[in-house]
Amino acid sequence: MYKSLEPYAKLVNFLSAALGDNCEIALHDLTSKDQEIVAISNNPISGREVGAKLSNLSLHYLEEKQYLNHDFVMNYKTVGNDGKLMRAATYFIKEEGREMPVGMLCINVNISDLEYLTSTIKKILGIKEEKDIEFKMDNPVEILSSPLDEMIDMYIKECLEKMGFPSYFLAERLNVDEKIKVVKYLQEKGTFKVKGAIVLVAEKLAVSEPTVYRYLKKNV
């Protein structure tokens, strides 16, 4: 662990004890090659362990350099490996002389029950859902501890549903224009920021890796 992060590592257990069992705290070391979690508490919430890699949304925040104008990111949605919905926040740990943060302290609060009750009440009262805009991403959802293969399957299924296909429809049967739309959807979700995504998407669409790259360059 990077030495400057050691004081933050001590905060991990303190914050989880103070905030309760419904709250997971995780510390990422961004100075290491894998930028992995180096301390975590209440991890059954997401199923992650020490050594887990950055999520798709965390990678997006770093690549977009959100840390230059913000010290933290608040109130974005996160999904655990068992489907639990969480409200999350990330604090960028900065060090003088470095442009990029040396670490990220993340807080994930399980709000599955609250979200269900809120949604039910809104339906009863006839209140329409409003989309949150979070750092140039439309309703971003972070995927925690979900294998890349499962994450891609989920996004492809979402895209097919939006295109009007039944849940059992195979993505490999799509025509070229439809496959391009799927690739663009995956790109919007930050899928291709994760190493190995191109290979898996190519397999699921029954195309070559160069074809996926060509799809990414096309306008739809």
Burial track 115-139 (b if 16+ CB lie within 10 A, e otherwise): eeeeeeeeeeeeeeeeeeebeebee
The tokens describing 18, both together, are: 């103070």
Q: How far apart are CA 140 and CA 47, in angstroms?
A: 20
Query: How far apart, in whole angstroms, are the C-alpha atoms of residue 51 and residue 72?
Result: 22
Distance CA 161, CA 166 (A): 6
What local confidence, expressed as pLDDT, does residue 58 receive?
84
At residue 49, the 3 state secondary structure works out as coil
Per-residue pLDDT of the chain in tens (220 residues, 90 and over written 9):
889 999 999 999 999 999 988 899 999 999 998 899 999 999 888 888 899 888 877 888 888 888 998 999 888 877 766 667 788 899 999 999 899 999 999 999 888 767 667 777 877 877 765 544 344 444 455 656 456 787 888 889 889 989 998 877 889 999 999 999 999 999 888 888 777 889 999 999 999 999 999 999 886 5
**SS3 sequence, 162-214?**
HCCCCCCCCHHHCCHHHHHHHHHHHHHCCHHHCCCHHHHHHHHHCCCHHHHHH
Q: What is the pLDDT of residue 6?
A: 93
**What would be the CATH architecture of the domain defined by 3-117?**
2-Layer Sandwich (3.30)
Q: Is the separation of the CB atoms in 186 and 147 below 8 Å?
A: no
Residues in the chain: 220
Q: Quote the strand ranges of 94-136, DSSP E.
A: 103-110, 133-134
Cα separation, 87 vs 142, whole angstroms: 10
Extents of the domains making up the chain: 3-117, 147-220
Q: In a 3-state reduction of DSSP, which class is residue 141?
A: strand
